Amino acid sequence: MGKTCLVTGCAGFIGSHLTQTLLDEGHFVVGVDNFASGYAHNMDGFINHEQFAFYEKSITEPGLLAALKKLHPELDAVFQLAAVVSVPYSVEHPGLTMRVNFEANRDMLDAARKMGISRFVFAGSAAEYGEEGRLPVKEEYADKVEQLSPYGVAKYKSSAYIAESGYGCSLRFFNIFGPRQDPSSQYSGVISRFVDFGLAGKRMVIFGDGEQTRDFLYVSDVVTSYLLAAGLDGQGRGPLTGIYNIGTGNGRSVRELAIVIADLTSAPQEIDFRAERAGDIKHSRADVSKITAEGFRAEFSFEDGLACTVEWARNSQP
């Protein structure tokens, strides 16, 4: 039997994919977004779905969860994705970032626990690890480092609060990519920008020597991890508690990424190397042993995920 699930940030890149999958699997979804970084067109595939109810709200509104629970008494799962998602923006607006990315999450978690909602999943971030140099990165490393931005600090405080409460879980995602990631956005990752360059027939631009490595995770695998964490993956397990890294456990270089995307888009193979940017982390790769023990494994290969992303971007061009 389907559950009634709240997805905050449902108009975002990841939230829209999660919402669509929950609906496809027979759940009722209560969606919340204020379009600070999400887009209405990301909801085109489900906005009129009979099992979907949308509210244009901010998660900072007092009593939001109580009001939604009153409207939807069966609400029993919260996926808390809404956030200030830009690191540079967080540096310029640290107070707002703390209000949205920590305080609102804390308040929603406390409210959900008091209401007896059995599933609470928070979108953590690899930014919680700061400049951690040990690889692969284990969950406990975040407790011993200094986060590099208000964004990372607020995400870390939320994850720590969840862990201390013994209720709900935080999924620390590494480098997510896939369809609906906007290359023109300041929030966008390197893959969507490279795809944009490639489809325009431009050379890839790399800051630094291109040997930087990242743990790239396709968005469909992200959705799978959310369902597993909430105990909604059909495997009969209950919801998870605590903090979990979500990635592939494999590092890919930015140079390798540029070459593959140039090939997929028939773009020039020559790379435009530019000066390394201050603050960029050289290497990042998740230790995924903890979530693997719970049954998670990334299904999409790096190459297949890139091919799907390029195809979507090509079909989305005006």
Residue 25 inside a domain? The answer is: yes
pLDDT tens, residue by residue, 221-250: 999 999 999 999 988 788 999 999 999 999
User: Would residue 218 show up in a list of annotated catalytic residues for this protein?
Assistant: no
Q: Give me the mean pLDDT over the 142-166 stretch.
A: 95
Residue 277 inside a domain? The answer is: no
Task: Give the structural domain span for 244.
Answer: 4-178+216-249+288-295
Residue 261, CA distances (Å) to 128, 146, 302 in order: 29, 34, 11
pLDDT at 236: 79
Tokens found for residue 100: 């949205």
Residue 211 inside a domain? The answer is: no
pLDDT at 21: 98
Residue 209 inside a domain? The answer is: no
pLDDT tens, residue by residue, 98-123: 999 999 999 999 999 999 999 999 99
Residue 301 inside a domain? The answer is: no
pTM over 0.85: yes
pLDDT tens, residue by residue, 37-88: 999 999 999 999 999 999 999 999 999 999 999 999 999 999 999 999 888 8
Residue 11 inside a domain? The answer is: yes
> pLDDT band for position 184 (50/70/90)?
low
Residue 83 inside a domain? The answer is: yes
Percent of the chain with pLDDT over 70: 97
pLDDT tens, residue by residue, 187-202: 457 898 899 999 999 9
Phi-psi region of 310 (alpha: psi -120 to 50; beta: other; left: phi over 0): alpha
pLDDT at 54: 99
Q: Apex CA 216: angle with CA 213 and CA 219, to 5°?
A: 165
Percent of the chain with pLDDT over 90: 86
Q: Give me the mean pLDDT over the 271-278 stretch.
A: 86
pLDDT at 187: 46
Other C-beta atoms closer than 10 Å to the C-beta of 273 total 15
Does position 267 have pLDDT exceeding 90, yes or no?
Answer: yes
Does position 19 have pLDDT exceeding 90, yes or no?
Answer: yes
Quote the DSSP letter at residue 28: E
- Cα torsion 155, 175, 3, 117 to 10°: value is -10
DSSP string across 176-206: EE-TT--TTSTT--HHHHHHHHHHTTPPEEE
Separation of alpha carbons 25 and 13, rounded Å = 19
pLDDT at 29: 99
- Answer yes or no: are the C-beta atoms of 15 and 4 closer than 8 Å: no
Question: Which CATH number does the domain housing residue 65 bear?
Answer: 3.40.50.720
Which of 76-90, 144-158, 270-284 is predicted least confidently?
Answer: 270-284
Residue 22 inside a domain? The answer is: yes
How many independent structural domains does the chain possess? 1
Catalytic site residue from 39, 55, 141, 151 = 151
Q: Apex CA 282: angle with CA 279 and CA 283, to 5°?
A: 135
